[in-house]
Amino acid sequence: MRSSPGCATSSSSNPLRASVDPARVGRDGALALRFERRGPATVVSGCRSTLPLQVLAPVALEDPAAVVSVLNPTGGLVGGDRLLIEVDAREGAHAVLTTPSASRVYRAPGEPTEQAVRLRLGPRAIVEWVPDHTIPYAGSAFRQTFDIELDDGAALILLDAFAAGRIARDEAWRFRLLESGVSVRDRRGWVLRDRFVLGAGREAAGLGLAEGHDYFASLVVVADRGLDAFAGSARPLLAGAEGATGGVGLLPRRGAVVRCLASSAPALTDLLDALWAAARRDILGLPALALRKL
């Protein structure tokens, strides 16, 4: 049973910062989670959050991981919001972090929404970051960074997925700014530095970019074993996906990256679920994990 001591929640400014600015209350959200291995199970041993970030209670599934959903109870991200998520997975711990549904980024005529995610993986720790995709509304501006440090024997599965907008409302590629960067390093140095920046206009949907697809994603896998097997599993999944396509490549050391394009949200979800299941099997030696979402 994966248990939690409870998450301390505050409506004041970011608890990870020393100063308190009343004007930023409800705009500077912070979430700090600590996972520890206790016997055969992983537990949430520390949790602190500030609105607009919260977490749901850990879900007890037939899996060695502690499964936690990160929640924004305000319904979406607003321009000028600054969010910080810090995850500390101690030695041997195994954490799965997800979201209850897709994340929405609302129109922002002024400052962009900024989200920083910092993951620290101790020796032989495992973190699976597998949220639903992000939907940038027309006129929105969203800037996101992942800063990840891994110790010896640690393993990472990280998913970064997006829609081009509210597709049913004909808002594809009408955001002001969409930016995401992933930096991964270990004791030997850099494993991966990756970043994209997209601006307004349908040029991103054209030749050499989204190729007419309205959904796109990257899957990053870092581990000390199973990478060749995962790449071998991913290739036929990508080649045979209905309504989706993509490619997989091995990094110079300790990692693999998958790029995906899809014509619909179900096509994207089906492909990413299959790739995640392959990564769990080939990298972690675990079966697919069915998250309980409505």
Name the residue ranges covered by the structural domains of the chain.
Answer: 8-14+27-211
Question: Tokens 């054209």 — which residue?
Answer: 206
Indicate if the pLDDT at residue 13 is higher than 90: no
Instruction: Tell me the average pLDDT across 187-206.
Output: 84
Please report which residue ranges of the chain form alpha helices under DSSP H.
Answer: 227-240, 265-279
The Cα-based distances of 238 to 158, 219, 245, 251, 262 in angstroms read 17, 12, 5, 18, 11
pLDDT at 27: 67
- Please tell me which residue, 74 or 267, carries the higher pLDDT value: 267
pTM (predicted TM-score): 0.91
Average pLDDT score, the chain:
89
pLDDT at 181: 97
User: Residue 53: which of 27, 34, 79, 35 has the closest Cα?
Assistant: 27
Indicate if the pLDDT at residue 46 is higher than 60: yes
pLDDT at 173: 92
